Structure 1
Amino acid sequence: MSKKVLAILSEYGYWGVELVGPLEKLEAAGYTVEFMTPNGKKAEALPPSYDTTYVDPPLGMCVTTEEAAEKVKAFEAQNRLESPLNMSEMIPERPYFSEPDFLRKFEKYYADLKVAQQKLTDEYASVLLVGGSGPIIDMVNNQRVHDIILAFYNKQMPVAGICYGVAPLVFARDFNERKSILRGKHVTGHCIEYDYHDGTGFLHTDLNMGPPPYVLEYLLSDAVGPDGQYHGNFGKETSVIVDYPFITARSLQCSFEFGEQFVNMLDNGLTRYGW
């Protein structure tokens, strides 16, 4: 099995420890992690994710520890995210139905996608979707991100998401079947109690979205259907759920545990955890 993992990050800000936590565990286990962004632009950590004085509004407490802040700043100083892989060059874009000669273009999209997905699953053992507010803009409803998720899901290879990096799993589905790949699964993700009322912001834009544009808990609860389960685990310090091939984590506090269980999936065949 390949000892490489593909990590997808937003160009509008990722939460530092939600990358650095699993990265530390993966690299300690001998994995090489390569980074990808939607357009090949540099990914940057959101400033609150390395600010130990930042008070998270819904939790009413400082959420960035000294340890996490130092690790994030040390990682950022390495400039490893300066030249990430460019998703838009590696995964084809699905054409509009209104385009001239649509059918031929649609057939070409599927042919090109098959090649691209095969290349990804040949090269990487898994895909990691890193959280933070940025994914709301350029990952959650990104068809290319969905197609990457499906590449690994269709081969029953591990798919990992943390915080708002879980949200793309709701929308990644076969274009013809339109059914949720989370149906019948157990997952976690940002619970209502963790949602902002105001201040959902991003790098490289002055936009303050106010609250997030969707309640992730509701999306996940609906996606898993009557035979699955969303686990918010509010009140518990961490929430990490493995229901193979998915591993999902609620928020930043879960980052290191998430990384540990991610490695357990890859190396030890872990298929169930946290429920």
Structure 2
Amino acid sequence: MTNALFIVSESGYWGEECTAPLTALTDAGVDVTVATPTGSPPSIDERSVDPENVGEETAERVREIHETDDRLADPVPVADVDAADYDAVVFPGGHGTEWDVNQDSHARAALRTAVDGDDGTALVVCHAVGILAYTRDADGGFLVDGRDVTGFPNEWEEGIVDDRDRLPDGRKLPYWVEDEVVAAGADWDAELDADASVTVDGDLVTARGPESSGAAADALLDELGVDDD
């Protein structure tokens, strides 16, 4: 059976960016394991389940999954899993990833194994794309150097943080994803004129944000050769 490892933020994941791929892969028969940096249950960014932000239907669906999915309720520590045992590793986004997943050495190792190894595929969504700015390949270079990617763009970040880079909840954004990933050598295109943005470059699939989550899941299933009908 095809299997996938989801590495989810404890500091606040964006609901749809996790639940859309989680649901799509599960419905396609993929066996999913959820991991977090410490093994504690992931927390959800409350803005991603606010009906005023995402609509009542999305808010209700995402919150129900967050509150009832046993895999999210009882994750394993990312240090205790080996990405080589999985066909795919998925990194849902959310600002929270900037404080934990993207800075976690074991999460980076999982990404390197999935993308730079002989087998495996990685899907990295939205702010989680920032992990590419800090992940090295086997030769010590940036894993993302020379790769085509999409992710959360500066233009959108400008509409969220204040002039001191503070988020609505008061936390200061530690870095801007686009800036760091481009500095690491990526060929960045967030396709701002498109409704959704998903980029496939070898074993690396990246997605821009929540509205791209469904398309990203479909792209990953295609890469895995799994029929989602």
Secondary structure, aligned partner of 1:13 = coil
Mapped partners of 2:147, 2:211: distance in 1: 23
1:138 aligns with 2:100: yes
Aligned with residue 167 of structure 2, among 196, 200, 220 = 200
Preserved CA contact (<8 Å) 2:123 2:220: yes
Preserved CA contact (<8 Å) 1:133 1:200: no
Task: State how 1:251-262 maps to structure 2 within 5 Å.
Answer: 251-262=209-220
Aligned with residue 181 of structure 1, among 143, 162, 167 = 143
Secondary structure, aligned partner of 1:247 = strand
Runs (4 or more) in structure 1 with deviation over 6 Å come to none
Report the equivalent of 1:98.
none
Secondary structure, aligned partner of 2:184 = helix
Preserved CA contact (<8 Å) 1:14 1:133: yes
Larger radius of gyration: 1
1:50 aligns with 2:13: no
Report the equivalent of 1:10.
9
Mapped partners of 2:56, 2:224: distance in 1: 29
Aligned with residue 72 of structure 1, among 62, 65, 69 = 62
Report the equivalent of 1:19.
18
The RMSD of aligned alpha carbons is: 2.0
Mapped partners of 1:186, 1:11: distance in 2: 28
- Any gaps of 5 or more consecutive residues in structure 1? 55-63, 91-115, 202-206, 270-275
Deviations 1:11-59 (A, max 9, x none): 11111000111112111211021100010101122111111113xxxxx
TM-score by length of 1: 0.74
Deviations 1:212-265 (A, max 9, x none): 22221122222235xxx2112113221111111100011111111111111111
TM-score by length of 2: 0.88
Instruction: Give me the identity figure in percent.
Output: 26
Preserved CA contact (<8 Å) 1:24 1:259: no
1:219 aligns with 2:180: yes
Corresponding pairs, count = 220
- Any gaps of 5 or more consecutive residues in structure 2? none
Report the equivalent of 1:95.
none
Secondary structure, aligned partner of 1:35 = strand
